[in-house]
């Protein structure tokens, strides 16, 4: 499971011309689910996201987490994070989980992040054509792969 986490001052996702999810300060999280991901990956990665300390403290150091700044999360599924470009120029997505595997894990991630943050997690719609807007703050972008824990 791969998460691209962007610290934002605002982010939104529009589907078929309508805003479906929107946040102010917090994280835009693009989540790629692989065919071999499990509930263990959800648990580990959700903990990392919720606890990630990349917001500035009073001294300007990245030392605060979402809870410290009353931040929110916009979570977007993105299978293309598992693109392989080893052969040719057309990406292969064989590592990405098919919808019957990915959908329950995506929903589990939403639920677990809600439990950890105590807040509603804004989302897109799994598998939809989405337009994502963000104002990256910093810019700060962190990539976390649950298969690379060490």
Domain range summary for the chain, segments of one domain joined by +: 2-135
Q: What is the DSSP string of 48-115?
A: HHHH---EE-TTS-EEE-HHHHT-EEEEEE-GGGG-B-SSSSS-B-TTBPPHHHHHHHHHHHHHHHHH
Tens of pLDDT, residue by residue over 84-109, are 998 889 999 999 999 999 999 999 99
Catalytic residue among 6, 27, 55, 78: 78
Classified as helix, coil or strand, 124 is coil
Q: Are strands 26-32 and 55-56 parallel, antiparallel or unpaired?
A: unpaired
Q: Is the pTM of this model over 0.85?
A: yes
Catalytic residue among 6, 27, 55, 79: 79
Q: What is the rounded CA–CA span in Å between residue 150 and residue 148?
A: 6
Q: Are 135 and 8 in contact (CB under 8 A)?
A: yes
Tens of pLDDT, residue by residue over 29-76, are 999 999 999 999 999 999 999 999 999 999 999 999 999 999 999 999
Q: What is the rounded CA–CA span in Å between residue 108 and residue 144?
A: 18
Catalytic residue among 80, 94, 103, 123: 80
Q: Which CATH class is domain 2-135?
A: alpha beta
Classified as helix, coil or strand, 121 is coil
Lowest mean pLDDT among 1-15, 82-96, 104-118: 82-96
Q: Is 141 a catalytic residue?
A: no
Torsion of the alpha carbons at 130, 135, 138 and 142, rounded to the nearest 10: -10
Q: Is 79 a catalytic residue?
A: yes
Residue 150 has pLDDT above 80, yes or no: no
pLDDT value of residue 88: 87
Q: pLDDT tier at 149 (50, 70, 90 boundaries)?
A: confident
């Amino acid at each position: 499971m791969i998460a691209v986490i962007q610290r934002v001052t605002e982010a939104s996702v529009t589907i078929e011309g309508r805003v479906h999810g929107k946040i102010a300060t917090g994280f835009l999280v693009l989540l790629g689910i692989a065919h071999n991901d499990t509930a263990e990956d959800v648990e580990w990665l959700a903990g990392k996201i919720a606890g990630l300390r990349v917001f500035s403290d009073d001294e300007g150091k990245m030392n605060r987490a979402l809870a410290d700044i009353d931040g929110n999360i916009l979570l977007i599924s993105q299978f293309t994070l598992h693109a392989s470009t080893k052969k040719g120029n057309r990406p292969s997505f064989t590592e990405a989980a098919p919808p019957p595997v990915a959908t329950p894990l995506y929903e589990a991630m939403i639920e677990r992040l809600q439990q950890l943050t105590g807040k509603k997690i804004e989302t897109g719609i799994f598998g939809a054509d989405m337009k994502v807007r963000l104002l990256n703050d910093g810019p700060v972008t962190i990539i976390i792969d649950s298969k690379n824990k060490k």
